[in-house]
Structure 1
């Protein structure tokens, strides 16, 4: 069973997959693990419409779908701050992963997958989305917000590499340092990069 929000309400999910058998599998995995599937779609356009209407906590979506592919759909959901997206793909090429990341997908799963592949990806996406919401609350200017996200992601990577922290642990470390030192997360992230990777930080 996955961790639930503090009010114990199940996480609400929209599932978009054009192959009905795979969609049924995804829905079953989610329901068996405490998620509430509030909508199902067989194409990207319907997925975007459903997510916009229902405002789920998460969208699990295939990359290759009719009418609109999952990457374009993820981009629309991301730009409108609708919900975090986990993309499903039969391919793991670097170019596809980069496109998915640029579109705002917060995690992806390569088919064929098991619950042990899908569920951790969902938790990663939800955790990353919570981090993004917090960063955006701290920084109002769009350009600064993007720069802060890049710096924090780089700092998290360095804390993982140099100190063995997981991504959530690294974010909490940055968050705590920000509060303890009364600095912005932007400044803390930049200090980490300056210290652990000299010469790579940018103003």
Structure 2
């Protein structure tokens, strides 16, 4: 099984080293380590880690701003690390769509639960997105089938059931899904329309 890829970002080299050691001892793969928010965004875009661990206060770009920019590129789990449990920071972390929030000092006791929560939450979000995309594809396919069925009813004086039976049989004969066959019917209709207009 592939190891979970993690990108960590902290301006303190000792903290970066300590966190890297903790992660690698637990079996995670540290794909990269950034010294500031800008580097974190660049590395996240290039390496596409499963989880990004961001210190809030970093030079050049804060962890909060980096989190927002990373979210525009793709959707990893994001854990924010801060020395302060301030209400404003917690609120901003929520607005930045952060998966989990961790208060320093970072130790195995608080690091790994935060990572597991973040990965689990991201997995659920990814699952919901896939389910939604699948529903949207199904709805689009149904609309395409209905359009094609309507064309066949009109062109061949068929009732709805006859048109559907014809489409199902033709899709099986051509080894196409019903949706793909419906697309072919509509495409053929579009290709014929200019000819009819020109001949009319």
The interval holding the TM-score normalised by the smaller chain is 0.5 to 0.7
Per the alignment, residue 12 of structure 1 pairs with: 5
1:86 aligns with 2:79: yes
Runs of 4+ in 1 over 6 A off after TM superposition: none
Name the larger-Rg structure. 2
1:28-177 → structure 2 map (5 Å cutoff): 28-139=21-132
- The two structures have a TM-score, normalised by structure 2, of 0.64
Question: Cα distance, 1:14 vs. partner?
Answer: 0.7
How far apart, in 2, do the equivalents of 1:132 and 1:123 lie? Answer: 14
- The two structures have a TM-score, normalised by structure 1, of 0.63
How far apart, in 2, do the equivalents of 1:95 and 1:18 lie? Answer: 22
CA offsets, 1:31-60, max 9 Å, x none? 010001110100001001001100111111
Contact 1:86-1:122 within 8 A present in 2 as well: yes
How far apart, in 2, do the equivalents of 1:36 and 1:11 lie? Answer: 6
Question: Cα distance, 1:82 vs. partner?
Answer: 4.0
The CA RMSD over aligned residues, in Å, is: 1.1
Structure 1, gaps ≥5 residues long:
1-7, 141-203
Question: Cα distance, 1:135 vs. partner?
Answer: 1.6
| Bigger helix fraction | 2
How far apart, in 2, do the equivalents of 1:121 and 1:33 lie? Answer: 14
Contact 1:16-1:60 within 8 A present in 2 as well: yes
The count of residues paired between Structure 1 and Structure 2 equals 133
Question: Cα distance, 1:79 vs. partner?
Answer: 2.6
CA offsets, 1:47-100, max 9 Å, x none? 010011001111111000111100011111123224211110001112211101
Contact 1:52-1:82 within 8 A present in 2 as well: no
Question: Cα distance, 1:134 vs. partner?
Answer: 1.5
How far apart, in 1, do the equivalents of 2:43 and 2:9 lie? Answer: 10
Structure 2, gaps ≥5 residues long:
134-200
